[in-house]
Amino acid sequence: MLINAGIPADAKIDYQNPNYKGKIKEALDAWVTDEYAVNSKERQKSYKNKVNFSGYPPQLVNIGQLQGVRYGFTGLKREGGVSEQHLKYVAFDGTSLYVINTAYDPARVSAKFEKYENLAVFEPFLSEIASNLKLP
């Protein structure tokens, strides 16, 4: 995705350089699009049309000093209620890709909340935490 956005694979880039900011955003958007496609396909197969997959529009955010993207998705039960909800952030510093995520998803083993209500309470704190991280 980085190469497709015009970022050389073997070059150390300056993530603050305006020439790369647009390219990084393009690569991160491709990451989100790909993740939505994979998750939507997996959910269609596993939920057998009992849950509707809904991705959030990606938002450009600061993750520490890095340009990043906030995104996520929800699985809504057709009979009502939330099956799962995922909150995610992704950023690139020229060397490393940072992915931050948490969820309400009873099927997950880790990085999850046991109750949907607990995730809803935590969500504004996650945004604040992500914006104040010391990256890179």
For residue 66, being part of any structural domain is answered with: yes
For residue 11, being part of any structural domain is answered with: no
pTM for this entry:
0.88
CB 92 within 8 A of CB 98: yes
pLDDT tier, 110 (very low <50, low <70, confident <90, very high otherwise): confident
CATH number assigned to the domain comprising residue 109 = 3.40.1000
- Residue 79 per-residue DSSP state: T
User: Would you state the torsion angle of the CA atoms of residues 11, 16, 18, 22, taken in this order, to the nearest 10 degrees?
Assistant: 70
pLDDT tier, 83 (very low <50, low <70, confident <90, very high otherwise): very high
Q: Quick count: other Cβ atoms within 10 Å of Cβ 38? A: 10
Domain count, the chain: 1
For residue 3, being part of any structural domain is answered with: no
Q: Which of 60, 83, 62 is nearest to 73 (CA)?
A: 83
Highest mean pLDDT among 7-16, 88-97, 108-117, 123-132 belongs to 123-132
pLDDT at residue 111 greater than cutoff 80: no
